[in-house]
Amino acid sequence: MPSILVHNARRAAPLAAAIVALALAGARAADLATVDGTPVTQQEYDIAARDLAGRLPATMPDAAKKQNIVDYLVNLDLLSKKAESEKLDQTPAFKATIDYERRKLLMGTLLDKVGAEAATDAAMRAAYEEAKAKAPKTPEIHARHILVQTEDGAKAVEARLKAGEDFAKIADELSIDKNAKGGDLGWFAQDAMVKPFADAAFKLKDGEISDPVKSQFGWHVIQTLGHRDKPFPSYEGVKDQARTFVIQKAQADFIAGLRKGAKVVEPQAPAAAPAPAAAPAPVPAK
């Protein structure tokens, strides 16, 4: 629409800011307005609402946002008509900007259409399954630990565990890691923990308890409870990412197809100067 093209013209940002400021200070209409008998349409309102979404305060009440958008459209209509009366739309620079913005809007509209048509559930699921099949296997373990400050303290913990005492009970009693209830660290990959701890934990078999292990945090007694490959996220958990991937790929493929079918001539980078020939090796004197 002409109003949107004017808003998007070169150097429109300062003008738009001024219009918004005028809207904030201007008279408030009860609903969508008319300007010299011409109504502000709902379609214009919806476009302006999207355009101004990031400029109005997030905490502003909905009614106030609506009124500011209406006032913006009133000011936009008045100022654009005044600019036309002064023939500001007839300058070469303005016409070139209008042409550029028109083509940009057409490009965006077409790419939105291509993306919307491509983003079927079948295509998104296919992209998900392909990513899942290609995902590298990442070993994880489920482990728990008891962290104390001294080696002697860790040896005492180890002795109590080997005597059959409950791991979680001792952890809650003695461990200085209060974030791990019962000492439980959950599932993690090897690079998620400091190296001395991870090296020791990943060497253990299920149910096995380590000797005391020193790290920068203190002394650990570790028990590994299980091994697995890190599970791939569920389809529902990454559906939005799958949609984005499908849309972007469809748009890129569409553009590549158009470029392949068109005669596009671009300036070539200047060829690099040839490397100087190597000097001949000296011939030894006879």
Q: Which residues pair with 184 in a beta bridge?
A: 144
The per-residue pLDDT for 264 is: 87
Angle at 86 between CA 83 and CA 88, to 5 degrees: 60
DSSP character for 186? E
pLDDT over threshold 90, residue 30: no
pLDDT in tens, 54-79: 999 999 999 999 999 999 999 999 99
Average pLDDT of the chain is: 88
pLDDT band at 268 (very low <50, low <70, confident <90, very high): confident
pLDDT in tens, 211-264: 999 999 999 999 999 999 999 999 999 999 999 999 999 999 999 999 999 998
The per-residue pLDDT for 29 is: 40
pLDDT in tens, 37-57: 889 999 999 999 999 999 999
What number is the average pLDDT over the span 116-142? 96
Angle at 282 between CA 279 and CA 286, to 5 degrees: 160
Segments making up each domain of the chain, as ranges = 2-109, 119-135+233-247, 139-229
C-alpha distances (whole Å) from 22 to each of 17, 151, 216 are 9, 72, 61
At the topology level, CATH places domain 139-229 in Chitinase A; domain 3 (3.10.50)
In order, the DSSP letters of 251-280 are: HHHHHHHHHHTS----PPPPPPPPPPPPPP
User: What contacts 117, CB < 8 A, 6 or more positions away?
Assistant: 250
pLDDT over threshold 80, residue 167: yes
